[in-house]
Structure 1
């Protein structure tokens, strides 16, 4: 059995989406976005006290990028990975891990807007810098999707893959701080991939504790 320890609207969402796309049996343990992630029992699963944590065949994993690589290798019949020697292998690795570039800027803005609870703790400079860095990430995606080659509906020429899941989920979080305005190809790609049943199933349920309480957090002060 595969068990995913999950917090809604966090990096674990990309692994949850992937599991739905793989069509494998798994269970989800929802964790709170609070100090319970520092409890000894959770630290035994994820030593940095972060989600996701994955239990599989008696082993434990605690990095989302590694989980995606492993799950794609374990279930190659789903066609979401790229094996060594495949045409898209280099691009698959690059775009899979580019999701973390976006996510680190999202994490900084999440801290500034949500985790810090007093205005005196927040930095307008940090907020503006991180928002500008997300905009640069959008520009990189836009350039990729604007490349005039066949089947550029997705990040890889070969079609929908785990790269679209990882980067798409990072953009899902980033859009709480920076809109996709001015990136038409990225908007079309985002609409395309988030219409998939796997993405819809990975969204927070009515009882889920959400990280983001608002659909958009404008730059501060503003």
Structure 2
């Protein structure tokens, strides 16, 4: 049996989307994004007190990329995954881990805009730098989707895979701070993958981390 430990609008949404796409049976345990994750019971699942945590066949996993790689190898090695020897294996691994590059900058922006309640705690310099780094990530996705001359529908030439889920979920979070207006290929790809029922099923049912769709740069110039 599989149990996913999840907080809405966090990296564990990536695993939730993947599980829906895999079509495997699983249980979902949702938590508020608070000190519950620091309780001994949860730390026994994820020692850093972070989500996702996954229980599977009596074993416990944490770290989103590792969970994605394991689930794909076990349940969909050449569907949502790309097995060793596949022409797209190298690209699959690169884009799987690139999702974390996007997420680390979004996490910094989430801290600045959401977690720090007082204006004097926030740093306009950090906000500006991290937003610029997210835009650089968008530019990397844009270049990938427009290369070669004939554009791709997905990040891999061979079609939709778990890396579209991983990077797509990272972009879902990042769009709360940096719009896709200057990246048309990325925007079209994002619209395409988020029209999938797996994405819809992974969206928060109620409260998440964000209380608005977009957080404007602060302070306003």
TM-score (norm 2): 0.97
Show the 5 A alignment for 1:135-214.
135-148=135-148, 152-205=152-205, 208-214=206-212
Give 1:150 shift.
5.8
Q: Verify the 8 A CA contact 1:6 1:13 in the aligned structure 2.
A: yes
- Which residue of structure 1 lines up, in the alignment, with residue 17 of structure 2? 17
Give 1:182 shift.
1.0
Q: Choose from 207, 214, 217 the match for 1:216.
A: 214
Structure 1 residue 99 corresponds to structure 2 residue 95: no
Give 1:78 shift.
6.8
* 3-state SS, counterpart of residue 191 of structure 2: helix
Q: Verify the 8 A CA contact 1:138 1:186 in the aligned structure 2.
A: yes
* 3-state SS, counterpart of residue 37 of structure 2: helix
CA distance in 2, matches of 1:209, 1:195: 21
Q: Verify the 8 A CA contact 1:150 1:157 in the aligned structure 2.
A: no
Q: Number of paired residues? A: 220
CA distance in 1, matches of 2:187, 2:149: 18
Give 1:148 shift.
2.9
CA distance in 2, matches of 1:66, 1:27: 19
Gaps of 5+ in 2: none
Give the direction of change, closer, same or farther, for the CA distance of 1:81–1:149 in structure 2 (3 Å limit). farther
Q: Verify the 8 A CA contact 2:98 2:167 in the aligned structure 1.
A: yes
CA distance in 2, matches of 1:190, 1:44: 35
Instruction: List 4+ stretches of structure 1 deviating above 2 A.
Output: 148-151
Q: Verify the 8 A CA contact 1:22 1:78 in the aligned structure 2.
A: no
- Which residue of structure 2 lines up, in the alignment, with residue 28 of structure 1? 28
Give 1:21 shift.
0.3
* 3-state SS, counterpart of residue 138 of structure 1: helix
Alignment RMSD: 1.1
- Which residue of structure 2 lines up, in the alignment, with residue 120 of structure 1? 120
Q: Verify the 8 A CA contact 2:68 2:162 in the aligned structure 1.
A: yes
- Which residue of structure 1 lines up, in the alignment, with residue 46 of structure 2? 46
